[in-house]
Amino acid sequence: MEYLGHTQTASYTTGPRTAQSACFLPAVGAQKTFDTMPGPSPLRRSLTSLPWRPSTYYQTAKVSPTTALMQSQSGPLSARANLAELEGIKVPPVFSAARNALYTRYTPNDWMSANLSNYSVSDRVRGNAERIRYDTLRLCREGEDRTKRAQEESGKRLGERVTDINFWKTELQHETDNMVSEISSLQEAKRIAEKALGETENPLHVAQECLYNREKRQGIDLVHDLVEKDLLREVDVIKQCQDKIRAVIDKANVQLNLNRAAQHELEKDTADKFSAQHLDEKCHGLRNTSGGIAFHNGIEQLDRTLSVPETWAKFSNENIQRSQAERAASKNLRAELDKVLNDCANDMWKQFNCVNTALSERVQECTDARNKLQTHLDKVLQEVFDMEKNIEFLKKSIKDKEAPYQVAQTRLETRIHRPNVELCRDPAQHRLVSEVQEIRETVEQLQAKLREAENALQHLLKTKSALEQQELLKGLLLVTSFGSPECFN
C-alpha cells in the first residue's frame, strides 16, 4: 500500500510483523547472507512505471523515530537491509548489479519513443523553419515586385501630371496674350470716347448761348414756348450724351480693371503651373540612386492638398473661361462705345433739326398738348381716387388677417404642451403650420401690394402735379402771344 503525503518512489510490503522487528533493528552482522540475488517482491512496484517521480536515486521508508538507525554497521546498504528486516523481508546485505538494473528509470520502449518523438519534433520544427524561409523569400520577392510596380506607376502618373500641367500652362499663356491684346484695344477705344466727350462741349455751349439770347425778348414775347423746350431738350440731349459717354467710359474703366484682374489670375495660375511643373519634373526624375532622397516620417499622413484633379482642371478652366468672358464683355463694350458715340451724334443732330422746325408748329402743338394734358389729368385724378380706395381696401384686408393668424399660432402654441409621445406631428399639426405659413404669405403679399399701391399713388400724385403745372403753362401760353420773329433767329 502507499501512504498519502509521500512520493510514489517508495514501495511497501504488506504482511504480519514479528515481535522482534517491532522492537529494534538487528545488527548488520547478524543478517544471513545469500549467494544468489533474491527476486523482487511481487507486491513491489517497478520504478520505471513512475516517469513523473521527482527523484530517480532516492526512496522513502516508514521508520519509527524511536528506532536507532545509527546502530547499523558500515556499508551503503545497511539502512535498506534494516528497512527490509522491519517489514519482514529477508534481504541479503550485499546486492549485485543485476538487482540495481531492475530499478532503472526508463525502458527501451521509452527510449525509442523519446527518440522518435525527438525525430518528429525535429522534422516538424525544420519543416516550419523551411516554410518560414520560403514564405520570407516569396514575400520579399512580392514586395520587391509590388514596390517596383508602384514606383513605375507613380512615375507614369507624374509624367501624365507634367503633361497636363504643360497643356494648361500653354492654354493659360495663350489666353494671357489674348487678354493683353484686348486690354490694349479697350484702352484705345476708351481714348477715342474721352476725345469725343471733350468735343461735345462746343455744341452744348452753342445751345446755352441761344437760350441766353432768347431771354432778351421783351414783354409778351418772353414765353416758355416749344422752341425754348427744344433748346432745353437739346441741352439735355447733349448732357445726356455726355452722361452716356461718361458712363460707358466708367464701364470701360471697370472692364479694364476686370480684364487686369483676369490677367492677374491667369499670370498667377501660370506661375503656379510653372512652379508645379518644375517640382513634378523633379519628382519624376528622382530614382532610387538619386541624391537628396531621405526619410520623411508620417509624410504620407500629411494632406495639404487643396484640390483634386477635377477641381484642379476646373480652376484653370474657370480662369480661362473667366478671361474669355471678360474678353467677350470687353469686345461688347468696345462695340457699345462705338454705338454710343454714333447714337449721341445722331441724337444731337436730330435735336438740332427739331429746334429749327419747332417754330412753325408751335401753335398747333401747344393746343393739342393742352387738350391732351387735360384728358390725362382727368384720368390721373380718377385713378388717384380709385387707388386711394384700393389702399383702404388692402389695409382692411391686412387687418382682417390678424385674428385668423392669432388663432392658428395660439393653436400651435397650445399643442406644444402635449405630454410625451402625444407630442405628435400629425396632420392637424401639418395643417396648422401650413395655415400659419399661408396666412403669413397672404399678409406679406397684401403688404407688398399695399406698398406697391402706395408707390403707385405717389407716382400718380407726382404725375397729377406735373400735368397741372403743364396745363397751367399751356393755358398761359394760349392766352398770350405766340412769339415774334426773334424766335427764329
Number of H helices, E strands in the chain: 10, 0
CA distances 425 to 413, 417, 421, 422, 429, Å, are 13, 13, 10, 9, 5
Q: Considering the chain, what percentage of its residues have pLDDT values greater than 70?
A: 72
Residue 325's pLDDT is: 93
Q: Of 320, 186, 344, nearest to 251 (Cα)? A: 186
Residue 367 lies inside a defined structural domain of this protein: no
pLDDT band at 73; cut points 50, 70, 90: very low
User: Residue 312 is part of which domain span?
Assistant: 172-287+308-361
Is pLDDT above 60 for 67? no
Domain identity same for 210 and 348: yes
Domain identity same for 390 and 346: no
What are the start-end ranges of the H helices in 358-426?
Answer: 362-400, 402-415
pTM of the model: 0.48
Domain identity same for 274 and 394: no
Residue 465 lies inside a defined structural domain of this protein: yes
Q: Of 158, 30, 26, nearest to 82 (Cα)? A: 26
Cell 527523484 maps to which residue? 55
For the segment 459-485, the average pLDDT, to the nearest whole number, is 64
Domain identity same for 466 and 318: no
Residue 433's pLDDT is: 81
Domain identity same for 229 and 352: yes
CA distances 211 to 6, 229, 322, Å, are 146, 10, 50
Domain identity same for 331 and 385: no
Domain identity same for 184 and 332: yes
pLDDT band at 127; cut points 50, 70, 90: very high
Domain identity same for 349 and 478: no
Domain identity same for 144 and 235: no
Task: Count how many domains the chain has.
Answer: 3
Higher-scoring residue by pLDDT: 91, 184: 184
pLDDT band at 26; cut points 50, 70, 90: very low
Is pLDDT above 60 for 33? no
Q: What is the pLDDT of residues 131-190, one digit of tens each?
A: 999 999 999 999 999 989 988 898 898 899 899 999 999 999 999 999 999 999 999 999
Domain identity same for 204 and 345: yes
Contact 274, 169 (CB under 8 A): yes
